[in-house]
Structure 1
Amino acid sequence: MSNDAVDTPNHHEDHSSLPQGIHETEEEKKRHWFVGSVDQGTTSTRFLIFNGEGDPVASHQVELGSLYPKSGWHEQEPLDLLSSVEQCINGAVQKFEALGHSKADIRSIGITNQRETTVVWDSNTGEPLYNAIAWPDTRTKNLVRELRSRELADTLTELCGLPLSTYPSSVKLLWLLQNVDVVKQAYEEGRLAFGTVDSWLIYRLNGGAQAEKPIHVTDSTNASRTMFMNLRTLKYDDKLLGFFGIDKHKIQLPKIVPSSDPKCFGKLTTGALAGVSIAGCLGDQSSALVGQCGFNAGRAKNTYGTGCFLLYNVGSEPVISKYGLLATVAYDFGALRKPVYALEGSIAVAGSGVNFLMNNLGFMEQSSQITDLALEVEDNGGVVFVTAFSGLFAPYWIDDAKGTLFGITHHTTKGHIARATLEATCYQTKAILDAMEKDSNHKLESLAVDGGMSNSDLCMQTQADISGILVDRPAMRETTALGAAIAAGLATGVWSDFEDLREIGQTGRKVFTPQMEPAVAAKLFKNWERAVEMSRGWMKDHPE
């Protein structure tokens, strides 16, 4: 299969010939049509089955482990990612049928995934050649510094929308080529296949190397996280590949296709849904924007998951940030529609900071208890926690910071540190919102939220207070999985256009209104910025 994506103007095929049943009434659609969604995240995998109204009917979840072989290293077993997906599909279908539904009514499935996590495998055998290097991994920090010193390094962002950092897939692949002999040998012999988690799963769910025609694809939202794709052409860019020293004739890159398509992603070959089409694919943060129905320019969402990711829809032309944000593909739904772009602010540590208090320090038994612990005190008691476990991402991009607690006294309790942990995510979100306002010349009036930490009323009220804007939380918070289901459903006739989705997720929303005096919020944020500056330099070998 060619590594080159087809030209952008032509790769949105006309899918007006939809599957049989498209002429059913709206009532029949809602009653009979279902779409599945694989939500493969950093700490767990889930499979959810949605009805035509966008409500989850059945689901199954499997927790995932991670490997930390060295400080700053974060790996996952690729075969574990695959088996977790297969388990979740079978488990959810069993529950779905137990409710009296038929799996024959599941029209298609979508996939959403952790994005920059990098997988390499042998195209001859279909077996992984190394553990997946997860998106927060910082082993490449020295490599990134070397890359930043290269000629043309400052021109990359204009092409791909991303700055050089430990975050994107490109530097992870380059590290593998430089440090893992079996990967380097496969590259030299032309049998090295590269992909993000979506590509790996789609490849294996379609039968892998044993398939008659192995399917090795990615969608443009995931491809835009590699630093290999030109944002405007949605094709691999020779200048970008050349900068990283990647010879596209020696490596099998996934073909870039739209996020919503009835054929490009193939079909499941095994398990409870064997034969069902994979018709949608979106990186998890793009998927959450779609699940929040952020289809209009100016709409924004923030997902509080393992990390925290704020996407702002900027329309059909990319906006290259001047203030530390990323430019990315928001979604690309084909069928003659133009791709839509977003500005993104990425925070490495959000829910993982809560897990740190729970697992490493034993503050509580369940992550959901963080709010109760934080409410034991009236405020943070002067404690500020810069949760730079993987350095700091947007808008700071400080890779030599370490997690740092400031302001600890004899008065400090677990409750103060719990509050400071929640506030760290809210402060970084405020910094991203300020950068987005500068890039777009527009102040957001409200922010749609989802993800595990959004369940905390205290955290969301704090976010509203610190940011000075409305925080809008849906009642149904499975928005990331819903986005992939929407991509698949649009490709297979469950929904015909965005108009059909207007009412999805709009009932039962809760809005948090700022209650803090702006001057007080500004003082707290200034204190946070001071702490960020003081956390710099902890990773330096020879402090100045």
Structure 2
Amino acid sequence: MDLPLLLSIDQGTTSSRAALFDAGGRCLHSCTAPLTCHYPADGWVEQQPEAIWQSQLQALAQLEQALSADQRRAVAACGIANQRETTVLWRRGGAEPLGPAIVWQDGRTAAICADWKRAGLESEIRARTGLLADPYFSASKIVWLLQAVPAAAAAAADGSLCFGTVDSWLLQRLTAGARHATEFSNASRTLLMDLERLQWDPELAAALGVPLEALPELLPSRAAFGSIAAGLPFAGVPITAMLGDQQAATLGQGCLLPGEAKCTYGTGAFLVINTGSVIRRSDAGLLSTVGWCDADGRPTYCLEGSLFNAGSVIQWLRDGLGLIERSDQVDGLARSCDDSGGLMLVPAFTGLGTPHWDPGARGLLIGITRDTGPAQIARAALEGIALAVATLVELAEEALGTPLGELAADGGAAAADLLLQAQADASGVTVRRRADLESTSRGVALLAGVQAGVVESLEAWQNDHPSGEPRRFEPSLDPGERQRWRRRWTSAVKRSLHWHGEAT
């Protein structure tokens, strides 16, 4: 064990994790607590802000209890990674949320985004933020809450309203209200930050109807964010880094050079490619975003493709259909048949992101015959995730003008060998999987360690594989067969689009 130690907070869509890393990048302990999503209407996804906090607090408390006294004393710094665009409002100086947390997957704000497009704001949003006028991002969620929650509107009127993505909400609770802040990677997912100037954009905020004074202080990803308050687990530990979960996973996978890419198969699947100091823009629905910033505010940018449902599809097989008892059984069930029998599953449960950006799309299972059984459905589910991500890979290669040499894979669903082999076959790219799938926790621990002076540089852990050497999945389809498979996939996706018609 290399001292001192680093605490990692990884607050995700369906669980909260707390992990402890040593200075050499080895994960010593990890504890997880579940978190529930609520679906009050079609396309709506909510969480309770207090439940988010209690879930993370539970994970932290379990971790602290698992450590020796010497280990607790050796914790030198903490980093926070978080589910990104999820939106929380509260009143300044308090901890009482004003309405539910609207989760990043939520599509209820499609009508607000449609109004922005009709008003001619789409091109300005794209130019200033690198994003699109879509319900995925935080700004429309803020506007919806201001319209639907009278207490939020009242707080905005008297200047006491606070907005935060989940990093800000956790920071507010961890510091007992002492800090209302965020950092550049999370801010770049709100539709409210100028991507080039790395500042909140007052003109854009006014045009979208978001009160500028409600936004958190904007800091680099490495900064002094405060310390964990007395009475909480790990009290007194300084918080030295915050980062959106997909950016943290990119760091954790060691994608430090332009052109290096990873895909995280969590609740959704997110392809992120490092583009260095250059903002790469796409006309094909990819997003330009901040990867991370150093302590002086110098950014590393990324290009991103977003699939809203990946691991959630496996959860549906488990909880919705009862085809498996545990998520880790999906690979064995899918492998129990030779092929999917022509079945295809489009994972558009809460709409489609890149490249369609269609909140009205819905999931589609097509090709069912009398011979279709649970194994074919499981196989089609994994292949559907891989085929959707293959589209993201293709668009990224077109935007960059060069093929991806290798794709790093992480996230819970990446444990399924069949998924990653299908990914290699569908995209024609070698897929690399670390023995440790939790790259998000590792990445933000690394960033916190560099800021605290515990780790020498971001490169220090790049070639370190304390849990074992990575496994590689090589493409096995010939190009003609791959093209035919992809054409059928494109046909299936077209049938899933605009299922609920125009947003109203």
Tell me the TM-score range normalised by the shorter chain.
Answer: over 0.9
For residues 516 and 435 of structure 1, the distance between their equivalents in structure 2, rounded to whole angstroms, comes to 20
Q: How many residues align?
A: 503
**2:219 aligned to which of 230, 248, 257:** 257
Identify the range of structure 1 (493-502 vs 135-144) with the bigger mean alpha-carbon deviation: 493-502
1:269 maps to amino acid: A
Identity across matched positions, percent: 37
1:467 maps to amino acid: S
**Inter-CA distance 90–158: structure 2 relative to 1 (3 Å threshold):** same
- Note if contact 1:59-1:95 (Cα within 8 Å) is conserved in structure 2: no
**2:246 aligned to which of 279, 285, 290:** 285
Aligned to 1:339: 299
Q: Deviations over 1:516-539 (max 9, x none)?
A: 112111111110101111112211
Aligned to 1:58: 29
**2:457 aligned to which of 486, 497, 504:** 497
For residues 237 and 337 of structure 1, the distance between their equivalents in structure 2, rounded to whole angstroms, comes to 17
Aligned-partner SS, 2:289: strand
- Note if contact 2:10-2:18 (Cα within 8 Å) is conserved in structure 1: yes
Aligned-partner SS, 2:2: helix
For residues 185 and 272 of structure 1, the distance between their equivalents in structure 2, rounded to whole angstroms, comes to 34
What's the TM-score, normalizing by structure 2? 0.97
Whether 1:485 and 2:445 are equivalent positions in the alignment is yes
**1:125 aligned to which of 68, 71, 94:** 94
Identify the range of structure 1 (524-533 vs 124-133) with the bigger mean alpha-carbon deviation: 124-133
Displacement of 1:33 in angstroms is 1.5
- Note if contact 2:227-2:235 (Cα within 8 Å) is conserved in structure 1: no
Aligned to 1:191: 160
- Note if contact 1:205-1:270 (Cα within 8 Å) is conserved in structure 2: no
Aligned to 2:273: 312
Whether 1:148 and 2:117 are equivalent positions in the alignment is yes
Aligned-partner SS, 1:436: helix
Q: Deviations over 1:250-285 (max 9, x none)?
A: x42111111112x23443433231111011100000
Whether 1:516 and 2:487 are equivalent positions in the alignment is no
Displacement of 1:442 in angstroms is 1.1
Displacement of 1:475 in angstroms is 1.2
Q: Deviations over 1:469-494 (max 9, x none)?
A: 11011112221001110111011111
Whether 1:226 and 2:190 are equivalent positions in the alignment is yes
**2:79 aligned to which of 92, 97, 110:** 110
Matches within 5 A, 1:62-461: 62-97=33-68, 101-208=70-177, 214-248=178-212, 251-261=213-223, 263-334=224-295, 336=296, 338-461=298-421
1:406 maps to amino acid: I
Aligned to 1:19: none
Identify the range of structure 1 (35-44 vs 469-478) with the bigger mean alpha-carbon deviation: 469-478
2:73 maps to amino acid: A
Q: Deviations over 1:400-443 (max 9, x none)?
A: 21111111111111111111111111111111111111111011
For residues 332 and 44 of structure 1, the distance between their equivalents in structure 2, rounded to whole angstroms, comes to 26
Q: Deviations over 1:23-58 (max 9, x none)?
A: xxxxxxx52211010110000001000011111101
1:376 maps to amino acid: S
Displacement of 1:511 in angstroms is 0.7
Q: Deviations over 1:98-125 (max 9, x none)?
A: xx74311011110000000000001143
Displacement of 1:68 in angstroms is 1.4
For residues 156 and 503 of structure 1, the distance between their equivalents in structure 2, rounded to whole angstroms, comes to 39
Q: Deviations over 1:442-462 (max 9, x none)?
A: 110100010011111111111
For residues 152 and 324 of structure 1, the distance between their equivalents in structure 2, rounded to whole angstroms, comes to 16
For residues 229 and 94 of structure 2, the distance between their equivalents in structure 1, rounded to whole angstroms, comes to 19
- Note if contact 1:76-1:131 (Cα within 8 Å) is conserved in structure 2: yes
Aligned to 1:35: 6
**Inter-CA distance 541–310: structure 2 relative to 1 (3 Å threshold):** closer
For residues 109 and 493 of structure 1, the distance between their equivalents in structure 2, rounded to whole angstroms, comes to 12
- Note if contact 2:361-2:496 (Cα within 8 Å) is conserved in structure 1: yes
- Note if contact 1:191-1:252 (Cα within 8 Å) is conserved in structure 2: yes
1:529 maps to amino acid: T
For residues 481 and 226 of structure 2, the distance between their equivalents in structure 1, rounded to whole angstroms, comes to 51
Q: Gaps (5+ residues) in structure 1? A: 1-29, 209-213
Displacement of 1:356 in angstroms is 0.7
- Note if contact 1:217-1:265 (Cα within 8 Å) is conserved in structure 2: no
For residues 131 and 337 of structure 1, the distance between their equivalents in structure 2, rounded to whole angstroms, comes to 32
For residues 297 and 503 of structure 1, the distance between their equivalents in structure 2, rounded to whole angstroms, comes to 17
Moved over 3 A (4+): 265-269
- Note if contact 1:292-1:505 (Cα within 8 Å) is conserved in structure 2: no
Displacement of 1:542 in angstroms is 11
Aligned-partner SS, 1:102: helix
Q: Deviations over 1:8-34 (max 9, x none)?
A: xxxxxxxxxxxxxxxxxxxxxx52211
- Note if contact 1:349-1:389 (Cα within 8 Å) is conserved in structure 2: yes
Aligned to 1:526: 487
Displacement of 1:166 in angstroms is 1.1
Displacement of 1:505 in angstroms is 3.2
For residues 205 and 34 of structure 1, the distance between their equivalents in structure 2, rounded to whole angstroms, comes to 19
Displacement of 1:337 in angstroms is 6.4
Q: Gaps (5+ residues) in structure 2? A: none
Aligned-partner SS, 2:243: strand
- Note if contact 2:220-2:297 (Cα within 8 Å) is conserved in structure 1: no
For residues 175 and 417 of structure 2, the distance between their equivalents in structure 1, rounded to whole angstroms, comes to 42
Displacement of 1:541 in angstroms is 6.5
- Note if contact 1:320-1:326 (Cα within 8 Å) is conserved in structure 2: yes
- Note if contact 1:329-1:339 (Cα within 8 Å) is conserved in structure 2: yes
For residues 454 and 347 of structure 1, the distance between their equivalents in structure 2, rounded to whole angstroms, comes to 15
Aligned-partner SS, 2:64: helix
Identify the range of structure 1 (100-109 vs 338-347) with the bigger mean alpha-carbon deviation: 100-109
**1:538 aligned to which of 477, 499, 503:** 499
What's the TM-score, normalizing by structure 1? 0.90
Identify the range of structure 1 (506-515 vs 440-449) with the bigger mean alpha-carbon deviation: 506-515
* RMSD between superposed Cα atoms in Å: 1.6
